[in-house]
Amino acid sequence: MKPWTLVAAAVGVAAAVATSPPVRRYCLTWGASAEEASAALPGDDLLPVAAVQSTRAIAIGAEPWAVWPWLVQMGSGRGGAYTYDWIENLFGLDMHSADEIRPEFQKLAVGDTLPLSPDQPPMRVEICEENQTLVFRSADGVWVWAFVLRARDGGTRLISRNRISPPDRRFFYDLLMAQGSLVMERKMLLGIRQRAEKLQVAGLSALTRAVVSS
């Protein structure tokens, strides 16, 4: 068998595995319970028909007040995304993950827009309910990203949901983006957990001092 035939066969097998239902389900629902993955969440109605939906989640040993400020300050040129900055910045996203509360980025409201990169539509805040729900929608309307915080047993269940269209991108997403987005979002959720739990230990007064000092 010729080398190029072997390569083509290997690529075909890899593509089949990447798009198989078990792998796809793992990539799109990492950390989420079956109930969380199937439940309706705030922001779903902003993109009623989505080609792809991912629902990923993590348990955080900190109350919602210690999680919320890290979400509010996310963004390019702001608090970053708490993931692999060097990968984000390969795409010119100007992400620099902060390890501290940035007071100047704590005031976020519906209608505010956050830039992603020079060649991508900005994200608009559609829902902003303190310590509960934060939902963004891209200016072109093809991407909705929701964060839902649920208090549980003295901690927080943080659920991240992405809904993406149009349908013609479905195969490309399954083949490449589902795995890549899992790597980045898993790191982000773990980064938020680490920061929130550290803030919880410092206490609510530490957050108050940080915000008031602005």
Global pTM reads 0.85
- Fold (topology level) of 7-212: Alpha-D-Glucose-1,6-Bisphosphate; Chain A, domain 4 (3.30.530)
Q: What's residue 173's pLDDT?
A: 52
pLDDT score for 208: 76
pLDDT tens for 24-82 read: 788 899 999 999 999 999 999 999 988 889 999 999 999 999 999 999 999 988 999 99
Q: Where are the domains of the chain?
A: 7-212
What secondary structure does DSSP assign to 117-181, as a single string? Answer: -TTSPPEEEEEEETTTEEEEEETTSSEEEEEEEEEETTEEEEEEEEEE--GGGHHHIIIIIHHHH
| Residues 127-186: tens digit of each pLDDT | 999 999 999 999 999 999 999 999 999 999 999 999 988 655 554 555 456 677 889 999
